[in-house]
Structure 1
Amino acid sequence: MHNIEVPEKYKLYYDESNNMRVFSLREGKYNIDSDPNQKISPIFVLAGIALKEHQSDLDFVALQESLRLDKSAEELKFKSIVALKAGFTPYQALKFTLGNRRVQNILSWLVEHNVSIHVFSINTAFWSSLDIVEDLLCFDASMEETLSQHYYKDCLYKLIKNDKVGFINLLNEFGYPKIEKPKAVPFLKALHDFNRDAWVKLVPKDLKDADPNGLCADLMRLGLFMYKRLELNADELEFTLVYGNDEKYLIGDFSNFYVNRISTFPASEHILDEEDKVKPLIDSVFAAMEKSDTYDYDFIKSNESLPIQVADCVAGIFRVLLAYLEDSSLEDVKLFLKGLNPMEQKTFVKLKSLLEGSIEECGMLFHTVMVPADIEKYEVLFADQLVRHGPNGFV
């Protein structure tokens, strides 16, 4: 991730969406895959609003009153304004969100009052697999392979999505991510064979029908990349980057993501939704860095802060948006834009305007760890404007 420090002063309000707190392996699934009838996105979002010093007197009460929330709604939160059904597909969830008048009104209010938003997002399944490719690049990788690392990481994620159950079972068999040196070669051989079995099933009967840019071709190139490591330096092979967490724990906790955002804006004040388990971890990290007094951050109850409640709405909107991109194809995204009704189109324009203004204010307000293929979809959705200007975190 980036270690850039932003000197400008903001008052940043945060809330998170899809906070799984721990990301780990179980038999044939991730710990978040608890409901077989519901597809759970692996994307964690930490987002909110960024106020400049002269914006301390913004009337959030007026915003809340204008939304005319149901009397049963205790707070102005995403789930209280957008009643997503459990069975919604990512496509349906995004359409439903964009078609919500309260979402549109919140976005309009933020645009009209020149309020910036900030977004940090990470695809936890993608993030958890990156070290495999990065470790392999340490062993006699050519310049071309090194420059193509984003491509290989993208291919590996496509392999995961192609057969998630089989991939997770393979990881469990070798105690991933704790791959000790004696297991390094057997693990890579098993992964290579798993990949080969996947692409063999995709080879068309008539090779003239083969798509050089299709999934089969991608997995074949990934297989060649792994095979070269086995042939060139199998005796030296080890997974030093992978080896770090206990078996089955891909991400032990999410505190580092909070630390990253706080340390990126050292001159700013950070107000976060209360997280009893996260705060002590953040405190200990900054103490170990001897920077306990460097950063101004606090965790408070969301019912005591309307700006945090608005931050929850921002985080929820982006969770829905990014879950759709992760689930869709590039062609799906192109068709999605053409299929928006007037209400959805108006909300989308507000969202795009808000993003553009926020990134113009400060590119570091937007940071994402995304699958390269999803970056391309994002650029199509927002016409190349956003990701190129914001320092994205795909690695």
Structure 2
Amino acid sequence: MDRPDVAPKSSEADLIDVNEIRDHQIEIYGLGRADEPYTIYYDETNNIRRLHVRADGLNEAEPKCFVIGGVAHRGAPRSLNLEELRGLLRIQKTAREIKLEHIAKGDFLSLLKSRTLETFLQWLLDQGLYVHYSVLDPLYWSIVDIVDSILTEHGDPHLYMMNWRLKNALYAILRHDLPDTVSLFQRYSYPDVGRARRGAFVAELRERLEAREQLLEHFDFMMLKGVLQIADKLESLPYLEDETPNVLIDGFGPFFVNRICLFKNSTHVLDVEEVIKSYIGDQKFVDNGRAVEIHRFAQSHDEAGIQISDVVAGLLGKFFTMIQQHDLDELRDTREALTSQQAKNLALLSELLDRALDENKAFAHYVLSLDDQRNAGYFLDG
């Protein structure tokens, strides 16, 4: 299920046992190399900080995919030849640091047109650096609590095995008409639906499912219909009660915590983002009762790895946002129409991502619908 993949959504606890965060992920995803020591650099993109429902709609009308990403290498911190990279990219001396905008601008397809991007991606390969990322679709993350609430309260382990397909199906019918979904959230102060309104809320979900059946495979339609029927008989929906009304996401700090805990034997170097720095600064990480200090914050202009990570995170943020905004047929047409330069850059990106997964499956973390994960794989590999 999605909920155990990250630290709690709230920041109430200031003591974090890294093993409580990581052990479940390692077990269910088979992350056998999470104990390996790396130096991991981070930057982020599309951090809207908070997603909430207002009287006039979402505070962010069309939330884009949030990405924590960057580069990593084995072992302790080592020198990264930033001056060589600046020379290859022909970055002006007046530029204090390397950013994605120095390489290319625009949406993902526009970035793929850049020969400078080709140089950058090839340099990453030549340097033996690994790309890592955690990607989150804010709307998907906001919706999955509905399924998790039902499955948690019902307690049938066989249904747990279907949780990703159920979430994928529910997300498909709710994102089909985002204004309608936001209106639903407004009427029920989602996620604080509460016990008194639970039945009416579930009934509205069933109405939408019936009306949009054509969006789903028959098996997924019947499975989700059955789960919503189960919800009618439950006494509680735990993640939809006693929550903060209208707050879908209260911050992305837990996702940084997740990465730090998962790679507990690594050194983590993060860009200074004051909200995240404050959030993590309130936490104390312990490993079997022993305090651990495995992360630090640095200014990007002082840290080559963070500057490189700015480009990686920005590129991946634009890629996953494109995936999120188009269906498979549209992506197929787009891929077939790529120019030779675009195809070359896409192949280099795919090679980088494949090499990272070959090194360590834990370098990739998704909070995306199954359809979007499949579509991303298709676009990368054809």
The question of a shared fold, defined as TM-score above 0.5 by the shorter chain, is answered with yes
* Contact 2:67–2:317 (Cα < 8 Å) also in 1: yes
1:108-133 per-position Cα deviation (integer Å, ceiling 9, x unaligned):
00001111111111111101111101
The 1:73–1:241 alpha-carbon spacing in structure 2 relative to 1, beyond 3 Å, is same
1:76 counterpart (98, 114, 121): 98
* Contact 1:184–1:237 (Cα < 8 Å) also in 2: no
| C-alpha displacement of 1:274 | 0.3
1:269-289 per-position Cα deviation (integer Å, ceiling 9, x unaligned):
111110112122213232698
Distance in 2 (CA, whole Å) between partners of 1:323 and 1:281 is 26
Structure 1 stretches of 4+ with a deviation exceeding 6 A read 141-144, 288-292
Question: 2:34 — aligned with what?
Answer: 6
Question: 1:225 — aligned with what?
Answer: 226
| C-alpha displacement of 1:143 | 6.9
The 1:229–1:286 alpha-carbon spacing in structure 2 relative to 1, beyond 3 Å, is same
Question: 1:251 — aligned with what?
Answer: 249
* Contact 2:99–2:311 (Cα < 8 Å) also in 1: yes
The 1:140–1:55 alpha-carbon spacing in structure 2 relative to 1, beyond 3 Å, is closer
1:123-181 per-position Cα deviation (integer Å, ceiling 9, x unaligned):
11101111101222245587765443322211211122222112112112111112222
* Contact 1:266–1:295 (Cα < 8 Å) also in 2: no
Tell me the amino acid that sits aligned with residue 136 of structure 2.
Answer: I
* Contact 2:85–2:123 (Cα < 8 Å) also in 1: yes
Distance in 2 (CA, whole Å) between partners of 1:51 and 1:220 is 44
| C-alpha displacement of 1:8 | 1.6
Distance in 2 (CA, whole Å) between partners of 1:224 and 1:348 is 39
Question: 2:29 — aligned with what?
Answer: none
The 1:349–1:222 alpha-carbon spacing in structure 2 relative to 1, beyond 3 Å, is same
| C-alpha displacement of 1:230 | 5.4
The 1:376–1:65 alpha-carbon spacing in structure 2 relative to 1, beyond 3 Å, is same
* Contact 2:134–2:366 (Cα < 8 Å) also in 1: yes
The residue correspondences of 1:156-195 to structure 2 (distance < 5 A) are: 156-195=170-209
Distance in 2 (CA, whole Å) between partners of 1:331 and 1:307 is 37
The 1:66–1:145 alpha-carbon spacing in structure 2 relative to 1, beyond 3 Å, is same
Tell me which moved more, 187-196 or 309-318. Answer: 187-196
Runs of 5+ unmatched residues, structure 1: 34-39, 85-92, 203-210, 385-395
Question: 1:20 — aligned with what?
Answer: 48
* Contact 2:191–2:239 (Cα < 8 Å) also in 1: no
> What TM-score do you get using the length of structure 1 for normalisation?
0.81
Question: 2:11 — aligned with what?
Answer: none
For 2:284, what is the secondary structure of its paired residue?
helix
Runs of 5+ unmatched residues, structure 2: 6-21, 27-32
Tell me which moved more, 74-83 or 355-364. Answer: 74-83
1:319 counterpart (290, 314, 317): 317
1:97 counterpart (88, 92, 111): 111
| C-alpha displacement of 1:79 | 2.6
2:72 counterpart (40, 50, 53): 50
Tell me which moved more, 68-77 or 171-180. Answer: 68-77
Distance in 2 (CA, whole Å) between partners of 1:239 and 1:132 is 8
Question: 2:284 — aligned with what?
Answer: 286
For 2:292, what is the secondary structure of its paired residue?
coil
Tell me the amino acid that sits aligned with residue 69 of structure 2.
Answer: A
User: Does 2:240 match 1:242?
Assistant: yes
Cα RMSD (Å): 2.7
For 1:137, what is the secondary structure of its paired residue?
helix
The residue correspondences of 1:1-395 to structure 2 (distance < 5 A) are: 1=5, 3=23, 4=26, 6-27=34-55, 29-33=57-61, 40-53=62-75, 56-70=78-92, 73-84=95-106, 93-138=107-152, 140=154, 145-196=159-210, 198-199=211-212, 214-215=215-216, 221=222, 224-225=225-226, 227-229=228-230, 233=233, 236-243=234-241, 245-286=243-284, 293-383=291-381
| C-alpha displacement of 1:266 | 1.1
Distance in 1 (CA, whole Å) between partners of 2:225 and 2:78 is 57
Distance in 2 (CA, whole Å) between partners of 1:173 and 1:316 is 35
